[in-house]
């Protein structure tokens, strides 16, 4: 059996099987930027194949394979999520829930709006048409991320339905557990009223495991 080895070339770490460089496709080499990331990827590569899209290995493969066109598409998808960000949604009749959401989430909306010069507004009615906003500064922020960082924002925001909170995660202002709690405020509120069933416990455990995996990936690319 031929061992897989890591080779540093300039500022990247590449993977080789014998003398052959491991490629993601016909022309794209498999690479990472950090030695600790390379070591973790290598550890997963020599294990039994894992189909989990949120494993460090598969998140790394996804990131390293991104083309210029892929990046453009992903940035567009992230901004689409932001337009209907979960934390902006306030179409609820329960005043206690609305107070809870305001207490826990409004500060993140204000900070994000200030950082990217956006006049984000809450969605209090489904019939109100949203204002057109200029996302240029946030778009520039995304453009300046490398493939691995951009993938992290994309995977987190797609999974949590919140770009705003995903941003604060990658800025290391909140943990993955805090991210889970903040994106599940309504669920937790309802559970206190109606109970926490076993099926929901399993779903929450699975969600936390996904966020934990993305968190491990993020820690190793920085």
CB 74 within 8 A of CB 80: no
Q: What is the b/e burial string over 34-64, where b = at least 16 CB atoms within 10 angstroms of the residue's CB?
A: beebbebbbeebeeeeeeeebbbbbbbebbb
Residue 98 lies inside a defined structural domain of this protein? yes
Residues comprising the chain, all counted: 222
Q: What are phi and psi of 193, to 5 degrees?
A: -85, -40
44, 217 Cβ separation under 8 angstroms: no
Both 45 and 75 in one domain: the answer is no
Average pLDDT, the chain: 94
Domain membership flag for residue 58:
no
The per-residue pLDDT for 165 is 99
In terms of domains, do 92 and 171 share one?
yes
Task: Confirm whether 90 is domain-assigned.
Answer: yes
pLDDT in tens, 167-209: 999 999 999 999 999 999 999 999 888 888 888 899 999 999 9
Q: What predicted TM-score, i.e. pTM, was given to this entire model?
A: 0.92
Give pLDDT tens digits for 123-156: 887 656 667 889 999 999 999 999 999 999 999 9
Same domain, 13 and 76: no
Residues 116 and 182 in one domain: yes
Q: Does residue 91 sit in the same domain as residue 191?
A: yes
Closest by CA position to 61, among listed 5, 17, 9, 22: 22
User: Is residue 63 assigned to a domain?
Assistant: no
Q: State whether 108 and 14 are in the same domain.
A: no
Answer yes or no: do 161 and 108 share one domain: yes
Are 153 and 163 a contacting pair, CB within 8 Å? yes
Helix boundaries (H) for 46-182: 56-64, 68-83, 95-115, 136-143, 147-160, 163-170, 176-182
Residue 172 sits in which domain range? 68-221
Tens-place pLDDT, residues 92-125: 999 999 999 999 999 999 999 999 999 999 988 7
Q: Are 21 and 127 part of one and the same domain?
A: no
pLDDT above 90: residue 222: no
Overall domain count for the chain: 2
Same domain as 184, residue 78: yes
Q: What is the CATH number of the domain that holds 198?
A: 1.10.3580.10
């Amino acid at each position: 059996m031929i061992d897989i080895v890591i080779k540093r070339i300039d500022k990247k770490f590449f993977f080789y099987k014998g003398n052959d460089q491991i490629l993601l496709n016909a022309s794209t080499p498999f690479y990472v930027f950090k030695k600790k990331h390379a070591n973790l990827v290598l550890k997963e590569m020599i294990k039994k194949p894992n189909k989990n899209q949120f494993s460090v290995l598969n998140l790394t493969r996804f990131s390293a394979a991104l083309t210029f066109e892929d990046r453009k598409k992903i940035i567009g998808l992230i901004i689409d999520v932001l337009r209907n960000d979960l934390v902006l949604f306030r179409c609820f009749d329960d005043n206690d829930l609305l107070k809870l959401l305001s207490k826990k989430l409004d500060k993140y909306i204000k900070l994000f709006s200030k950082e990217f010069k956006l006049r984000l507004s809450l969605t209090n009615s489904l019939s109100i048409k949203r204002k057109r906003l200029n996302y240029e500064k946030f778009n520039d922020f995304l453009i300046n991320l490398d493939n691995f960082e951009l993938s992290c924002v994309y995977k987190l925001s797609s999974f949590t339905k919140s770009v705003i909170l995903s941003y604060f995660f990658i800025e290391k202002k909140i943990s993955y557990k805090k991210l889970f709690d903040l994106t599940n405020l309504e669920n937790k509120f309802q559970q206190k009223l109606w109970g926490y069933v076993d099926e929901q416990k399993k779903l929450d455990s699975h969600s936390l495991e996904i966020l934990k995996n993305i968190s491990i990936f993020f820690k190793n690319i920085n």
